[in-house]
Amino acid sequence: MKLTLLLWLALPLPAATFYVTVSGLGGEPEYETRFAGLATEAHKLVTGTPDAKAFLHSGILATKAKIRESFTQIATDAGPDDNLVVLLIGHGTFDGTDYKINLPGPDLSGVELAALLDRVKAKKQLVVNTTSASGASVASLQRPNRVVIAATKSGTERNATVFARFWVEALRDAGADADKNETVMALEAFRYADQKTVQYYERGKRIATEHAVLEDTGQGEAVRNPAPDNGHGLVASRTPLLRLGAAQKSAADPAKQQLLSKRDDVEQRIDQLKYNKAAMPAAEYRKQLQVLLVELAKVQKEIDQ
């Protein structure tokens, strides 16, 4: 009994994920309701996951001061192994120099948000800006190991976006988990929401007024289609958004935590190998991939037991 207790205490604590969801001003009742509804749904979905620490700022409470208070708390509580996910919903503006999300009282700029993020020790950070003109925020927010997703490719796409709706849908649709490992990664959610957005405009025979982009290299331009050939997507493929189903229970079980970490490590090595494929002999690539796939299968079998 004592040995079991000691072994349990020796296990690393599960990494916490800090979620900050902000719903800004809508300007009109329709948008106010839509933005607040999406933010509330997103908040409820992520608070149902193990080790989630969620903050919601919506309506008149979505002020710059309140948002700063949350980040001050997170900067105190979050460690390097924890995760940070920030979701912005609402109207954004870009005057040619500064991006801002519209809030009650003073607006919050991309530069100011970046400063708040920089104070948080969590190494894995994801910022999902679904506002209009959100593409203009990427340059301010990008940092090494930080994934930045924007609903628009630039600050000139100023219409209200539908990407926000489909991003929230990715939080509750198991279809967003493309590799079926019961963990939705940032890259999976991006591809899901982007595809749904494209289909929305195609079905309605509308001209698309938004084009989602992703940047996770810490430098350069965001891209529409992250892939090995443009160097984007690797960090996003390693950044968890939330766990689903049985993976939630496993994440809450200290005895399973080490196995989940091991599986994450193997999957990251597989992703890295795929990004190095072009520079490797084909036979060597297949050999290394086979070894990793066998290792992954063994770990998954232990998790499922």
The full 3-state SS of the chain, as one line of letters, equals CHHHHHHHHHCCCCCCEEEEEEECCCCCHHHHHHHHHHHHHHHHHHHCCCCEEEEEEEHHHCCHHHHHHHHHHHHHHCCCCCEEEEEEECCEEECCCCEEECCCCCCEEHHHHHHHHHCCCCCEEEEEECCCCHHHHHHHHCCCCEEEEECCCCCCCCCCCCHHHHHHHHHHCHHHCCCCCCEEEHHHHHHHHHHHHHHHHHHCCCCCCCCCEEECCCCCCCECCCCHHHCCCHHHHCCEEEECHHHHHHHHCHHHHHHHHHHHHHHHHHHHHHHHHHHCCHHHHHHHHHHHHHHHHHHHHHHHC
At 77 the pLDDT is: 95
Average pLDDT value over all residues in the chain: 86
- Mean per-residue pLDDT for 274-291? 81
At 58 the pLDDT is: 93
- Mean per-residue pLDDT for 27-37? 82
- Mean per-residue pLDDT for 50-75? 93
Q: Is the dihedral of CA 221, 226, 145, 127 positive or negative?
A: positive
Looking from the CA of 122 toward its CB, the CA atoms found within 13 Å total 28
Query: Among 75-79, 174-178, 299-303, whose mean pLDDT is lowest?
Result: 299-303
- Mean per-residue pLDDT for 244-249? 54
Top pLDDT among 110 and 183 is at 110
pLDDT tier, 121 (very low <50, low <70, confident <90, very high otherwise)? very high
At 303 the pLDDT is: 63
pLDDT tier, 22 (very low <50, low <70, confident <90, very high otherwise)? very high
pLDDT tier, 261 (very low <50, low <70, confident <90, very high otherwise)? low
At 208 the pLDDT is: 93
- Any idea which architecture 14-244 has in CATH? 3-Layer(aba) Sandwich (3.40)
Every domain of the chain and the residues it spans: 14-244, 253-304
Question: How far, in Å, are 52, 86, 273, 278, 289 from residue 285 at the CA level?
Answer: 37, 36, 8, 9, 6
Asked whether the predicted pLDDT for residue 250 surpasses 80, the reply is: no
At 256 the pLDDT is: 59
At 14 the pLDDT is: 59
At 245 the pLDDT is: 61
At 247 the pLDDT is: 42
* Residues 59 and 23 sit within 8 Å (Cβ to Cβ): yes
At 51 the pLDDT is: 80
